[in-house]
Amino acid sequence: MGLRSGFKLQGQSAMKSPLFSVVIPVKEINDYLRLETVPSLLKQSYSGLEIIILPDKKTNEHFPQTRIIPTLTITGPAAKRDMGAKAAKGQILAFIDDDAYPEKNWLKTSAAVFAESDSIAAVCGPAVTPATDNFRQKASGYVWSSWLGSGGAGTYRCTPQKRRQVDDYPSVNLLVRKKDFFEAGGFDCRFYPGEDTKLCLEITKKLSKKIIYDPKILVYHHRREVFRPHLKQISRYAVHRGYFARVFPQTSFRPGYFVPTLFVGGLVVGLPLAILIPILSWIYYPVLLFYLLWLVVVAHRAGWKEKSFPLALLVGAAIFLTHLVYGTLFVKGYLSAKLDR
């Protein structure tokens, strides 16, 4: 469950150049950490940081400025982040995934945004697909970064866009004042994914504080390959978002999250109705044609950018399947009495 703890700042000057505790939950130490995440953190233009890595088991590996804390019986990412937060020495908790790595000014830019106001409890930024991702990973990246593919979640999460205030953001690139993190109750370990949505809800509604998205607070995030890994991830998000739309409507009951379900319903029910009631065909077929044309345009843009027609086909198919999977499982989540962990 969430955390409760008192926390006092170490003087006003401490927040002018705060210490960041970068918390990374993992199953085991891997090459992403060895070759990208940790080296990118050690090359930050901001020197005030510690790194906390939380693998399942003990390891003999070591990294500079890093504490490796084996979690043993605690295995869920949310619980590991809570454990890392308890162990953190910094005034700011910087959450990032093990398959992501930050731009060199990640912490410097974050510190500047935090310094603007004590009312800013958290900052965040885009998680961009790295150029080194393979063919299938890039296809997934284009699904996430296109409005057609991720309209409900917001394309600003995957591509740099204008600065704004947000009320829900994933923990792949989320930095939170430690005192506000504990006041909000930490991550609710009943939910994964979705623990970050619950934390952001507590920050913005319970604490009445701000979460600022800045495009310069940037990380690179490796995508899940299409189709199976990508759709497996989508299925988890769909079930949890559907459930959240019912139990936490303040930030999850939004039109964009319902659109894929309406799309699936239209496909299943619309065609028989259009056949049985001809006048409805004047609505059904133009809407379906519009969707297909939009799909072709988005896929073509991805293929043109990567100079790959096969990638365009993959992106088009991935978006369509994403809508089918998400739209169907969103209903399952919405109707669930509780979520299975």
150-168 pLDDT per residue, tens: 887 889 999 999 999 999 9
Within this chain, do residues 293 and 320 fall inside the same structural domain, yes or no?
yes
Within this chain, do residues 216 and 311 fall inside the same structural domain, yes or no?
no
H helices within the chain, ranges in order? Answer: 31-32, 38-42, 77-87, 106-114, 135-145, 147-150, 178-183, 195-201, 228-247, 249-252, 255-265, 271-276, 281-306, 309-335
Q: Kindly report whether the peptide bond that precedes residue 290 is cis, defined as omega within 30 degrees of 0.
A: no
Q: Is residue 278 packed enough to be buried (19+ CB in 10 Å), middle (13-18) or exposed (0-12)?
A: exposed
pLDDT under 50 in the chain at which residues? 1-14
What gap in Å lies between CA 308 and CA 45, rounded to an integer?
36
Specify whether the CB–CB gap between 51 and 36 falls below 8 A: no
Within this chain, do residues 48 and 196 fall inside the same structural domain, yes or no?
yes
Tokens of 52: 């906390």
Tokens of 121: 């409890």
User: Is 143 among the domain residues?
Assistant: no
What CATH number did the domain enclosing 175 receive? Answer: 3.90.550.10
User: Is 29 among the domain residues?
Assistant: yes
Within this chain, do residues 217 and 298 fall inside the same structural domain, yes or no?
no
Q: Which domain holds residue 203?
A: 12-126+161-224
User: Is 27 among the domain residues?
Assistant: yes
pLDDT at 15: 54
Within this chain, do residues 210 and 253 fall inside the same structural domain, yes or no?
no
Within this chain, do residues 61 and 195 fall inside the same structural domain, yes or no?
yes
pLDDT at 128: 98
Within this chain, do residues 209 and 111 fall inside the same structural domain, yes or no?
yes
Specify whether the CB–CB gap between 4 and 185 falls below 8 A: yes
DSSP symbol at 203: I
pLDDT at 8: 37
pLDDT at 312: 97
pLDDT tens, position by position, 212-232: 999 999 999 999 999 999 999
Contacting residues for 231 by C-beta, under 8 A, at least 6 apart: 321, 322, 325
- Total domains in the chain come to 2
Within this chain, do residues 109 and 203 fall inside the same structural domain, yes or no?
yes
User: Is 262 among the domain residues?
Assistant: yes
Within this chain, do residues 115 and 252 fall inside the same structural domain, yes or no?
no
**Helix (H/G/I), strand (E/B), else coil: 293:** helix
CA distances from 264 to 40, 267, 288, 317, 321 (A): 42, 5, 11, 15, 10
Within this chain, do residues 220 and 301 fall inside the same structural domain, yes or no?
no
User: Is 3 among the domain residues?
Assistant: no
pLDDT at 325: 97
pLDDT at 228: 97
Within this chain, do residues 247 and 113 fall inside the same structural domain, yes or no?
no
Within this chain, do residues 205 and 303 fall inside the same structural domain, yes or no?
no
